[in-house]
Structure 1
Amino acid sequence: MSSSDLAQAPAAPDTVLDIDSTRPLCPLLVADVTALCDRMEDAGGASSAVIRLHGTGPAENWPGDVGIDVVSRWERALRRLEQGRFAKIVTVEGVCSGPALDVLLTADHRIGAPGARIAVPVNNGGVWAGMAVHRLTHQLGGLVARRLVLFGAELSARRALSLGLLDQTAKDPAAVAARLAERFARLDAAELAIRRQLVSEAGVTAFEEALGKHLAACDRTLRRTRDEFAGARGNA
């Protein structure tokens, strides 16, 4: 997606955000992600955000000339986005790298165009050591992440799909994202966040330790179901 395409596009709704891979890290970028989280939280209840990731090439200068204070604020904004009580759907067109890669790794569902590429470039003698390294390792496992993090790589959409960095490819990612956003918005926001947490903790939590949290989640569902049945009988 070119800059001219974005300029001609209609104004994005409050649940949509654009991230360009070539954009340097700066306070405005942090503010954009924070503002999306604010809007989604203010909306209340179940909701879905669509984040459009695009770029013309790898983020060869990421994060740019920036202080560690801005890096810290960026990582906190990403964590807030990742844990937000709303579904996050990303679309990838062109090259996903730098800030776009950081955001991709926080998403719940990832849709790539057939020609999309995901780039982990080597800058200033090594791959940037931000929390993307942690997320790549957690999501892909140490063996796959090691090759990406130590030496960098550029992955085709097909390869990213096989590794799980993408969930699907589509000729029209925006249309697919819109349909999914409508469906995901019907999910209970609190329950979505709980299930995301259960999945995230499963790889590092012993079965016996995790059992209590899973039973508590099941109990909440059963209680809600009983309340709904009771309400339906009362209205009959």
Structure 2
Amino acid sequence: MSDLMTVQNAAGPVAEIRLNRPAKKNAVTLELLADLVAACEALADEPGLRAVVLSGEGGDFSAGIDLSVLMSLAGDLEGVKAEMLAMEPGQPNRFQAPAKALMDLPVPVIAAIEGVCFGAGMQLALACDFRIAAPGAKLSIMEGKWGLIPDMGISLSLPRLMAPDRAKALIMTARVLSGEEALAEGLVTRVEGDPHGAAIAFAEELAARSPDAVRASKALVDQLWGQAGDGLRLEAELQAALMGAPNQMETVMAQMQKRAPVYK
């Protein structure tokens, strides 16, 4: 595992996962995402684990995918699309795997959100069981800004949190919400002045409960609300069709050149 992410107190009862690229507002790379999957898989086997807190170093949760990653993927767009679509039914591709890994942890996962929480970072936060945000945090399902859709596991999380009309509005507009606005939309669980401290306190409260009952409670709600496994395939198919298409490229160029896009 690299130093792009840290895991503290892995044996529990409360473990912490921290995204560790503060100079880049914890923008995620493919290596960081792979590290997150590995960390979740390792934590799932810890018998003393009772809860996990996910946060970012340096006052930001995550600015989303690092632009350098997007530029590198653009060099082999057809290969990226083929990889995205090479998935077993109900199973994630490598871009969706981190969110799925967070959801698959058998214990509660609490996201502590400060600063920015955009794009891929937002999808990681949504994959957690609870989200505690600072009032001044900035949250956005931001992929629409680049002519794309969210495709990193949002089909597993957002349908359980929002009515479809509200979800469509946020996905289509890429609107940036404050912590308070995100609470009103149902995207976060609570707003606290110290989200990390509040997340730790909540995790410790859960850790004091019967671990069997807490794990069963998570499993019960997840199964009752359902996890749309087929949605992972839909995410990949829709995104692959958008990537590199004329209007998506025009969206990117307009953003870079700070002008209004001209669509066909």
Question: Residue 182 and residue 170 in structure 1: after superposition, are their counterparts in 2 closer, same or farther (change >3 A)?
Answer: same
Question: Residue 120 and residue 59 in structure 1: after superposition, are their counterparts in 2 closer, same or farther (change >3 A)?
Answer: farther
Q: Identify unmatched segments of 5+ residues in structure 1.
A: 1-6, 205-236
1:17 corresponding residue in structure 2: 17
Question: Residue 13 and residue 83 in structure 1: after superposition, are their counterparts in 2 closer, same or farther (change >3 A)?
Answer: same
Worse overlay, 56-65 or 176-185: 56-65
TM-score, structure 1 normalization: 0.69
Q: Quote the offset at 1:128 in angstroms.
A: 3.1
1:184 corresponding residue in structure 2: 206
> What letter is aligned with 1:29?
L
Q: Identify unmatched segments of 5+ residues in structure 2.
A: 74-79, 85-91, 227-264
1:108 corresponding residue in structure 2: 129
TM-score, structure 2 normalization: 0.63
Alignment of 1:184-203 (within 5 A): 184-203=206-225
Q: Quote the offset at 1:115 in angstroms.
A: 0.7
What is the CA RMSD across the aligned residues, in angstroms? 3.2
2:50 corresponding residue in structure 1: 47
In structure 1, how many angstroms separate the alpha carbons of the residues matched to 2:129 and 2:68? Answer: 24
Identity %: 22
SS in 1 for 2:115: strand
Worse overlay, 82-91 or 71-80: 71-80
1:145-175 alpha-carbon deviations (Å, 9 max, x no partner): 0111222211111111112211111111222
Question: Residue 62 and residue 51 in structure 1: after superposition, are their counterparts in 2 closer, same or farther (change >3 A)?
Answer: farther
Question: Residue 73 and residue 190 in structure 1: after superposition, are their counterparts in 2 closer, same or farther (change >3 A)?
Answer: farther
In structure 2, how many angstroms separate the alpha carbons of the residues matched to 1:85 and 1:203? Answer: 16
2:181 corresponding residue in structure 1: 159
| Equivalent of 1:142 in 137, 154, 164 | 164
In structure 2, how many angstroms separate the alpha carbons of the residues matched to 1:30 and 1:57? Answer: 14
Q: Quote the offset at 1:90 in angstroms.
A: 0.9
1:96 aligns to 2:99 (yes or no): no
> What letter is aligned with 2:134?
A
1:232 corresponding residue in structure 2: none
Checking the alignment, whether the CA contact within 8 Å between 1:85 and 1:189 is kept in structure 2 is no
SS in 2 for 1:107: coil
Q: State which structure, 1 or 2, has the greater radius of gyration over its C-alpha atoms.
A: 1
Worse overlay, 105-114 or 42-51: 42-51
Query: Aligned residue pairs: how many?
Result: 196
In structure 2, how many angstroms separate the alpha carbons of the residues matched to 1:137 and 1:40? Answer: 26
> What letter is aligned with 1:163?
E
> What letter is aligned with 1:146?
K
1:34 aligns to 2:37 (yes or no): yes
Worse overlay, 138-147 or 28-37: 28-37
